[in-house]
Chains A and B, each alone.
Chain A
Amino acid sequence: MTVEQITRSIDARGMPCPGPLMSLIGAIREGQVGDVIEVLSSDEGSKTDIPAWIAKAKHELVEVVSEAGFARFIVRKAR
């Protein structure tokens, strides 16, 4: 279980690649530094795309939680 205070949660389940990543990018752009954004994705591509983008964009991947049929990505806007 995550202890992070979620600022915003995005349910992108059912969206195909690259939809969940694009939703996350949009939320990061709109958010404030320190915000914690949760993305729920059932897209397999997200498992590689979201960590790759976070590393590139220098944000923080707090946690990835595997759930039944989807994954929960917890991301902190770092800058």
Chain B
Amino acid sequence: MEETNDTLSLVLFSGTDDKLAAAAVLTVGAAAMGRSVNLFLQYWALDAFRADRILKDHGVSAEAGPEGASFMRLMSETGGQQHWSTLLSQAKDIGEVGIHACALSMDMFGITKEELDPIVDDVEGVAAFMGEATGPIVFI
């Protein structure tokens, strides 16, 4: 597949399942279309990538409201949508996708590399991430 130089950089801040799922769909789409993708995990998103809780229920964002939250729960049980971590694995499988943990967030939350799910490639400082972020940056 012809590669373009349009690296897509996604900064994942939110740790709720709806936003992580949206980010995962963007990642898999970009990877399918031959764009390299860099994900930078900060704050609550980083927390959601802990190996012991990546598949747990991370709730939905505040704007969902109670009705949206129950809708999302129903969708996750019956919708047939794959878990966001599965989509990210697929994206890594078909394209060039790097998942980097923010060094500052690691410190803040007292998380070690060993505690993260193996889908996370490495721990990176913000400058290193920005050095690779030559294309658009999306913050979720």
Interface residues of A (CB under 8 A from B): 14-19, 21-22, 25, 29, 49, 52-53, 56-58
Contact = CB atoms under 8 A, between A and B. Distances in A.
Interface in B25-63: 25, 28-29, 32-34
Interface residues of B, number: 15
Given A16-B80, A18-B28, A25-B94, A52 B33 contact: yes
A53 B94 CA distance: 12
- 4 closest cross-chain pairs (CB), A and B: A57-B1, A16-B81, A56-B33, A22-B90
B33 A53 contact: yes
Nearest to B90: A22
A14 B25 CA distance: 17
Contact of A16 (B2, B29, B79): B79
B5 interface: no
Given A22-B90, A56-B1, 12 more contacts: A16-B79, A18-B29, A19-B82, A21-B32, A22-B28, A25-B32, A49-B29, A49-B32, A53-B33, A56-B34, A57-B34, A58-B1
A60 B87 CA distance: 25
